[in-house]
Amino acid sequence: MGKVIAVANQKGGVGKTTTAVNLAASLAATDHPTLLLDIDPQANGTSGLGIEPRTVATSVYEVLTGDVPFEDAVLQTEMPFLDAVPSHINLVGAEIEMINVLEREQVLKRALVRARRTYDFVVVDCPPSLGLLTLNALTAADSVVIPVQAEYFALEGLGQLLNTIKIVRQHLNPDLEIEGVLLTMFDPRLRLASQVAAEVRRYFGDKVFEAVIQRNVRVAEAPSFGKPVLLYDALSAGSKNYMALAREVIRNNLRYLHEEHAEEAPPAPVAPPTLSGDGQHHRTPPQPHGLAAVPAEGPASPPRVRYEDVARERADRPELPGAPTPGLEPPADRIRLASRVNDPTDDDAPDDAAAPYSPSS
Ligand SMILES: Nc1ncnc2c1ncn2[C@@H]1O[C@H](COP(=O)(O)OP(=O)(O)O)[C@@H](O)[C@H]1O
Ligand SMILES: [Mg+2]
């Protein structure tokens, strides 16, 4: 049976969608049948795979409202091992429409029963909230990837997410694990970004992925072309970072993949040798990913590194690369998508490096 991995953090702009799309694509690139499931009404993950959300006939919305079986919403993508279930702006209404549904937190879990047999991995891109959609994802998921933006003060607000995970474990999904905390948009040239990263590691210990996603302009450009970064620029730092993350996820789930497949289905395709590195990791049993090591209430000590300090350091060093390149001109057919990404009314749109961190977002 496949593993369902939710990518969640109620803060917008931390790299959830980027991670969901590129982790899914990188897993698929290793010949693991993978599904990207977009349950964010903003549908950035859908468009990031080249699917125009406004034109999809059947989205996850119809699945959640029970109008169509899950299989009918599955679309193929450019990559042979990657399928997608698109989102649609209609999904905004789903939270309200589902209020009277019996066991409304379990709808996605029930819908995914068959998909678990079809795919090795189902990666779920969650909206930037802890509402019913995210709750459905956490209830359906085996584990959760928590992206944190290395440049902003990353830990603030995480207590709320960890608490939600704990409550989901108590009441809805006792087996939910933390797959890992992922440092995103890391700029190694910013001294303070490294301090933020160190603080995240100090706090979460071995829950933090070894793989770190650097700030990389190719990663930011790729969605405007409707591609995961791997198809847009395979040699970019972003592609390498996300491949490293995929390798780590596979490595941590070898036992899971092999055992489950032995029971449920034909053997999983073995990842190409290039992915196994020294091969040693294959013999290491996966680490338990329980919540035990993670305090529920967020950081005990106040932040030592503040966003303002990082922003000041960046402002003082104009030579450093910042947010997505201004003036990037995507081809005409993608301009509409790109302009949506820049829609100021779009909470999930890129904040630019200058946007201050707001604890309420
Ligand atoms: N590693 C990265 N390098 C450069 N830009 C990035 C990177 N990761 C994310 N971004 C950009 O940051 C913005 C927010 O990322 P996104 O994945 O949409 O966050 P979320 O889904 O959490 O709201 C997007 O414009 C995205 O292109
Ligand atoms: Mg998103």
Q: Is the pLDDT of residue 358 over 50?
A: no
Q: Which of 18, 214, 230 to mutate to test the pocket of ligand 1 (most atoms within 8 A of CB)?
A: 18
In the sheet that holds 34-38, the strands lie side by side as 75-76, 82-85, 34-38, 121-125, 3-7, 143-149, 177-184
Instruction: Report the chain's mean pLDDT, rounded to a whole number.
Output: 78
229 within some domain: yes
pLDDT tens digit sequence for 177-225: 999 999 999 998 888 888 888 888 988 999 999 999 999 999 999 999 9
Is residue 16 lining ligand 1, measured as CB closer than 6 Å?
Answer: yes
Closest by Cα among 31, 33, 59, 63 to 45: 59
Pocket of ligand 1 contains residue 128 by CB under 6 Å: yes
Q: Which residues contact 291 (CB under 8 A, 6 or more apart)?
A: 162, 165, 166, 169, 177, 178
**pLDDT, position 313:** 56
14 Cβ below 6 A of ligand 1? yes
Establish whether residue 13 lines the binding site of ligand 1, counting it when its CB lies within 6 angstroms of any ligand atom. yes
Burial 305-342 (b: 16+ CB within 10 A, else e): bbbebbbebbeeeeeeebbbeeeeebeeebeebbebbe
Q: Which of 2, 79, 23 is nearest to 246 (CA)?
A: 23
* 330 inside domain: no
Q: Which ligand is nearest to the CA of 215?
A: 1
Q: How much is the pTM?
A: 0.77
DSSP state of 19: H
Residue 115 lies in a domain: yes
Q: How high is the pLDDT of residue 73?
A: 96
State pLDDT tens for residues 298-327: 444 434 444 445 555 556 655 544 333 333
96 pLDDT higher than 70: yes
Does some domain include residue 265? Answer: no
Nearest CA to ligand 1 atom 20: 13
**Domain enclosing residue 180, as ranges:** 3-259
- Considering its fold, how many domains does the chain have in total? 1
- Does residue 288 belong to any structural domain of this protein? no
Would 120 be classed as within a structural domain? Answer: yes
Question: Could you tell me the CATH number of the domain that includes residue 225?
Answer: 3.40.50.300
Give a yes or no: residue 326 inside a domain.
Answer: no
- Point out the least confidently predicted range of 114-128, 258-272, 278-292: 278-292
Q: Mind giving me the DSSP string for 230-264? A: HHH-TTSHHHHHHHHHHHHHHHHTHHHHHHHHHHH
CA 34: distance to chain centroid? 14
Does 269 fall in a domain? no
